[in-house]
Amino acid sequence: MELSEHYAADILVFFEGKPVELSLYEGFFDRMCQLFPDAAVKVQKSQISFYERHLFAAASVPIRRKKTWPEHCLLVTFGLSHRLESPRVAVAVEPYPNRWTHHVLISRPDQIDGELMDWVREAWSFSQSKR
C-alpha cells in the first residue's frame, strides 16, 4: 500500500480521542492491504481515501449521525453502478445516474467480513472501468 511519509502521524491526528474508531480502522486497513496492495491511501480532513486509478473506497467517522447509529463506529464508503439492497447499508445515494454511493457502518471487528470486502472489491472494479 502506498502511504505518505506522514501517514502514521496523520492517522493518529484523524482519530484523536477516538480509540474505538481507530481500532476498527486498523482492522479495515489490514484487510485493504491484503486485497489492494497497489492502492494508495490519503488521509484527508474528513475521510481516509483509497485510490488506484480512481477513488474506490473511504473510511471516516460519522459527523452527522442518525440517533439509531452506534455511538462508536467507522463509516465505510464505496461506489457501485447499482444500489445494494442490504440492511447493512446505512445510506445509499445516487449522485449521478448509475453511480451509487453506499455508506456502511462498522461498530465491531467482525463486521469487516467477506461480504463487506466483496462490496469494496466490486467498487474497485467499478472504479477501474471509469474513464
Q: Is residue 120 part of a domain?
A: yes
Q: Is residue 1 part of a domain?
A: no
Give the confidence band of 89 by pLDDT, cuts at 50, 70, 90: very high
Q: Is residue 89 part of a domain?
A: yes
Give the confidence band of 41 by pLDDT, cuts at 50, 70, 90: very high
Highest mean pLDDT among 34-38, 65-69, 95-99: 34-38
- Rounded distance, CA 107 to CA 114, Å? 16
Split into its structural domains, the chain has a count of 1
Note down the domain range covering 107. Answer: 7-128
Other Cβ atoms closer than 10 A to 20: 16
Q: Is residue 117 part of a domain?
A: yes
CB contact at 8 A, 92 and 84: yes
- Average pLDDT on 118-122 reads 98
Question: pLDDT exceeding 70 applies to what percent of the chain?
Answer: 99
- Average pLDDT on 16-40 reads 97
pLDDT at position 101: 97
Max Cα-Cα span within the chain: 39
pLDDT single digits (tens) 59-86: 999 987 788 889 999 999 999 999 999 9
Q: Is residue 2 part of a domain?
A: no
Q: Residue 1 corresponds to which cell in the numbers above?
A: 500500500
Q: Is residue 57 part of a domain?
A: yes
Give the confidence band of 131 by pLDDT, cuts at 50, 70, 90: low
CB contact at 8 A, 62 and 76: no
